[in-house]
Amino acid sequence: MRAIAVFLLVLGQLALCQGGWRCTQGPLLNEALAAQVDASLGQAVATDTNGQAYSLSGDYWKALPYANLKHVSVGEAGIWGIDASDHIYKYVGGSWALVPGSLIQIDAGGDGFVVGVNAGNHIYCLASAYTMGFNGHSAVSWKEVGGGLKYFSCGPYGCWGANSGDAIYFNPLTSAATCSFSGWQHISGSLKMIEVGTDGNAFGVNSSGHVYQRTGITKELPQGSGWHFIRCLGTMTQVSYDLGTIYGVSTTGVIMKATA
């Protein structure tokens, strides 16, 4: 029955494709319901509703060691995760190494650095000097970034975030090595989460589950100029983007893909 339901869902999504995006169903997580997905540098990771983390290998999801993770992220700094108790981990040598600190969401999409937010909506950044060589025993020093957000994601031009009221903000990056930014800019619109890819393109989901792409992003105008509704993905809880592909988790726990 589930296979039939998924098939009908995909047919419905494909019928709504527009704006140059083609939407299809992604690989299933070993029959488990997806909770979250993240992609960067040609890699993708995900978690299911049981706290199991996966990495995508070809067209199949490979289970990573179990650590009851609710959020995972992949990027130049490696694979990082957050467990149900807000503990932070980095995937090192085939196992999860505990990282000092406490976060509810993490993003490894920056230029070697990692960012995240804690339960108090405080924003933190871990510079590449700590992330790249972390082996489970080395010390780290999280730098607090001023402001308050519930979701934070970084790319080559700067970082995007959404606060507790779904307001959107952009903060241009001035130094990846020192986790330095030039200051928050309020962006029109309303999103509950937003992710940025390694090419600077940003995608987010609003409170109704609709997916939007930030348009007009360039090196000269890193905050972009408008929003484009991506109808064919349907209703999503969360999205990520990498190399021309959007990965999303539907409200039914299915991973969807949209390719330009």
pLDDT in tens, 60-110: 999 999 999 999 999 999 999 999 999 999 999 999 999 999 999 999 999
For the chain, percent of residues with pLDDT exceeding 90: 87
Q: CA angle 108-110-112, nearest 5°?
A: 85
Helix or strand run (H / E) with residue 229 = strand 226-229
Say if residue 156 is exposed, middle or buried (CB neighbours under 10 Å; 0-12, 13-18, 19+).
Answer: middle
CATH of 2-259, one of 3.40.50.300, 3.30.365.10, 3.90.550.10, 2.130.10.30: 2.130.10.30
pLDDT of 153 strictly over 90: yes
Residue 20 is predicted with a pLDDT of 83
DSSP string, 124-183: EEE-HHHHTT--SSS---PEEESS--SEEEE-SSEEEEE-TT--EEEEEEEETTTTEE--
Residue pair 81/38 in contact by the 8 Å Cβ criterion? no
Of 134, 130, 160, 132, give the one whose Cα is nearest residue 143: 130
What does the pLDDT average to over 229-243?
Answer: 95
SS3 call for 202: strand
Query: How do the domains of the chain map onto residue ranges?
Result: 2-259
Write the CB contacts of 13 (distance below 8 Å, at least 6 apart in sequence). 23, 24, 25, 232, 233, 234, 256
